[in-house]
Structure 1
Amino acid sequence: MNPTTLKCTVRYDGTNFSGWQRQDNQRTVQGEIEAALSKIANRAVTIQGAGRTDAGVHALGQVFSCRWRGTPPQRLAHALSRMLKPEIRIESIEQAAPDFNARFDAVDKSYHYTFDFNRFPDPLLARYAWHMPGTPDLDLLKQCLSQVVGTHDFAGFQSAGNQMKNTVRTIFSADFAPGGLMVAPAMEGVYSMKLRGNGFLYRMVRNLAGTLVEIARGRFGADFITESLLRGGPFLGMCAPAHGLVMVNVNYDTEPPPHRHEIPLHDEMFPSNMDLLG
């Protein structure tokens, strides 16, 4: 039987994982999926994720690709669901074009970061929202966040650990709005930063989230984001904790948004120079 290429969508709670990418002697999402696939196939199977999320980061729509022969996609999805721990769930598996690559074929990705501004933390939100007591100026934060929309050099929002040579990225949309992916719609005091772009530097989303908190606290002015984009690195603010971040969606639309081919279409959410071929 000739091998085929699979496109797989997965969600996971990243709390107890050392990130997405396989690491020696560490529990990772990629490592657990590869172990399950290898057991089913009775041979070593490697996968290629669309983005390499850091330790503690969650995903609702991570995508990975792999070369596969044997069990049909529908049966494979059920088999994996039975084998994987409850923190990981396979949402869908479908056959893709032979040269499909989950990382390099992505048009854009979406991330949400959730804040809990209530006076006391909610225990049911503890894994999914950054508790920062206070009353933010919603209009101010929306105005500040709008400064990232467009094509910019984001070197000023890249953490040390994986310094990319090309730090230009395009953000298609950015919003700061009430609510969160993991909370009831009517819950007060919870807000989310929502970003969609064609690539993100290492900890760029978390650094932007931390910057919004610093602006809300008055440490930085309303023009700090624009000034950082013009100034370049290093990042001068506070990095938000990992648990508030969710990879929401990876888009492979055949109709690319504006600027698709102006910059590399990849993430550096996790510090590594290793490219794993599926």
Structure 2
Amino acid sequence: MRRAWAGLQGLFAVYKAPGVHWMMVRDAVETRLLRDLNALQRPPPRKEVRFLPTSTEGKDGDELTMTVASVPVLANHPLVSGPAFTRLKVGAGHRLDIKSSGVFVLGLGHGNKLLHDLYNAHLSRTYTVRGLFGKATDDFSDEGKLIEKTTFDHITREKLERILSVIQGSHHKALLQPHPPLSTLHLRHYSPPPKRPEPESNEPLGFLKGPAGPRTWSVKRSMGSDHQQPLWRVALLSLTLAGILLWCVLRPETEVDQLLQAAMKGDAAEREPQSPLSEQKRP
């Protein structure tokens, strides 16, 4: 079993059907490999020596004696330890779209490192595109909503091949063209915002000229200019706070309020300074 697991190294290709996500294909391959690995015959469980009590017939009847026995360890039993393999390191190469089909390369073990080499090799790929003339959908697929329909009698094979040759030539030219140097790229320099001069005098700031004035402040900026809140959320918060304040003012007085009021009066009486007349009247 361990030899079979160690031999799962390298790259292999599978077929991906259209309409299936590449992650489902990868998970299905991993599940089947784990099922086949766990179905292999396991090595026999190791045994340990134990002293087991046994009863033997003696002169005075049955006597209890200890005998040496070799029993298997239950910790290695499949019903106790579970499956031997629960996860495999399966990597995906070139990921295909959910609507596309074709060869899907997967890597196992050390083959995951080869996926980077396969990607950097830039191997040639062949794509087969299927389409339908005269119809257009909202998501450019055959399952999308039809938004436009027209005739296609004017399309000929010669015109189609001419357009395809122009597209292929432009792509080939873009591949052979060297990348522009960094010196020709437009660089953008960002500077920190200018600091506002602080007032030198100690006079209070004017409310109307400040950033909190009614001409510049709005409800949308009540939570900050970077986090603009809708009007209904600010109104709901204001009504909730107003309702809490009205309830605190109009609710009937309870025993807890009386106890708090008495405690506050006692603290105030203790903190009041004693007048000199009251000190002279004391004996």
TM-score (norm 2): 0.30
**Based on CA coordinates, which of the two structures has the bigger radius of gyration?**
2
Higher relative contact order (CA 8 A, sep 6+): 1
- Please identify which structure carries the higher helix content: 2
- Please identify which structure carries the higher strand content: 1
